[in-house]
């Protein structure tokens, strides 16, 4: 195969890379030849995830920090860029969910979701760009959601944050494009991860997913990996400001 999808010599930070979709994207990127720096809050989970990749001969490191600790996030990006002398991709994927009816939503919970799912992406994108601009190259990839495009009840902070990422991606794409840095958003549909345990274990919700998704099933985490490799690799060099929906066709179904 040509080098179209190769990430050889690349260094990528993947936030929320200790499990779920982040680990799936990091795994695919490491399989494409990159060095992946896995982030999450729990060092033990991170070490275990990195050890599994390294046991397969893949290149993985860890960077434990809370993305909503903006000072720690800023320092971590600088440390990765300093250590490797480059930062080719920043996959800004860490996210949390909070599901309660509107009248039970506390303002501090809304703020917590926005801080983790949106403001942290702004801070991390800014700091990644600081490392990428001098090299005239870089890929910022954010994990949005189809729940930033369509909506379901109870997830007010989440949907506001994911819709916000769509706008943030556009301003980053137009400002950083001339400097050689692209920004895109991957919008997953319904994937079987820890975030969705309450939903995957609910037979009524699973029946709803099967009826609404043209492919008729939940997605498995590895099915997100190709999108991240595409956007980070030479294959994605002219893709900028794009929302790449990976949802089995759900948002297109009438």
Ligand X SMILES: NC(=O)c1ccc[n+]([C@@H]2O[C@H](COP(=O)([O-])OP(=O)(O)OC[C@H]3O[C@@H](n4cnc5c(N)ncnc54)[C@H](OP(=O)(O)O)[C@@H]3O)[C@@H](O)[C@H]2O)c1
Instruction: Give the integer Cα–Cα distance in Å for 225 and 27.
Output: 7
Site for ligand X contains 169 (CB under 6 A): no
Least distance in angstroms from the C-beta of 151 to ligand X = 13
- 216, with CB counted inside 10 A (0-12, 13-18, 19+), is exposed
Residues 223-242 contacting ligand X, CB under 6 A: none
* Residue 9 or 42 with smaller CB distance to ligand X: 42
Least spacing, CB of residue 128 vs ligand X, in Å:
15
Q: Is 191 in the site for ligand X (CB under 6 A)?
A: yes
- Residue 186 falls in which region: left (phi positive, over 0), alpha (psi -120 to 50) or beta: beta
Q: Per-residue b/e over 138-168, b at no fewer than 16 CB within 10 Å?
A: bbbbbbbbbbbbeeeeebbbbbbbbbbbbeb
Please state the closest distance from residue 153 (CB atom) to ligand X, in A. Answer: 16
Question: Is 239 annotated in the active site?
Answer: no
Q: From the candidates 65, 158, 218, 230, which is the catalytic residue?
A: 158
> From the CB of 179, what's the least distance to ligand X, in Å?
26
| 78 binding ligand X? (CB under 6 A) | no
Rule CB under 6 A: is residue 93 a binding residue for ligand X? yes
Give the CA-trace dihedral at 24, 48, 131, 245, to 10 degrees: 10
Among 42, 82, 180, 249, binds ligand X (CB under 6 A): 42
Nearest to 224 by CA among 1, 28, 62: 28
Find the binding residues for ligand X in span 48-67 (CB under 6 A).
Answer: 66-67
Q: Does 22 bind ligand X (CB under 6 A)?
A: yes
Residue 89 binding ligand X, by CB under 6 A: no
Query: The tokens of 81 are what?
Result: 């860029």
Per CB under 6 A, which region of 54-62, 76-84, 185-193, 206-214 contacts ligand X?
185-193
Dist. CA 102–CA 4, nearest whole Å: 46
CB of 38 or CB of 176, closer to ligand X:
38
Contacts of ligand X in 112-151 (CB under 6 A): 116, 143, 145
Closest CA to 224 of 144, 163, 149, 127: 144
Owner of token pair 């759900």 = 250
Q: Is 45 in the site for ligand X (CB under 6 A)?
A: yes
C-alpha Rg value of the chain to the nearest Å: 17
Verify binding: residue 190, ligand X, rule CB under 6 A: yes
Strand 11-14 to strand 35-40: parallel, antiparallel, or no bridges (unpaired)?
A: parallel
Closest distance of CB 199 from ligand X, Å: 8
Known catalytic residues?
Answer: 158
Q: Footprint of ligand X on this chain (CB under 6 A)?
A: 15-16, 18-22, 39-42, 45, 66-68, 93-96, 116, 143, 145, 188, 190-191, 193-196
């Amino acid at each position: 195969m040509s080098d179209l999808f190769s990430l050889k010599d690349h260094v990528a930070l993947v936030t929320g890379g200790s499990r779920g979709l982040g680990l799936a994207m990091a795994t695919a990127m490491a399989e494409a030849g990159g060095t992946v720096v896995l982030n999450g809050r729990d060092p033990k989970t991170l070490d275990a995830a990195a050890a599994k990749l390294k046991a397969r001969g893949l290149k993985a490191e860890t960077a434990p920090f809370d993305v909503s600790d903006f000072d720690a996030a800023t320092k971590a990006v600088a440390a990765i860029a300093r250590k490797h002398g480059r930062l080719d991709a920043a996959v800004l994927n860490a996210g949390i969910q909070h599901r309660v009816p509107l009248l039970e939503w506390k303002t501090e919970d809304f703020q917590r979701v926005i801080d983790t799912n949106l403001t942290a992406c702004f801070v991390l994108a800014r700091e990644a760009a600081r490392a990428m601009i001098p090299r005239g190259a870089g890929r910022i990839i954010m994990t949005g959601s189809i729940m930033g495009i369509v909506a379901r009840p109870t997830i007010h902070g989440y949907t506001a944050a994911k819709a916000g990422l769509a706008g943030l991606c556009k301003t980053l794409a137009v400002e950083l494009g001339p400097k050689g840095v692209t920004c895109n958003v991957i919008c997953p549909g319904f994937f079987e991860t820890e975030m969705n345990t309450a939903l995957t274990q609910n037979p009524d919700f699973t029946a709803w997913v099967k009826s609404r998704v043209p492919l008729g099933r939940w997605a498995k985490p590895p099915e997100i990996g190709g999108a991240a490799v595409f956007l980070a690799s030479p294959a994605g060099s002219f893709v900028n400001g794009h929302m790449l929906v990976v949802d089995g066709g759900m948002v297109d179904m009438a």
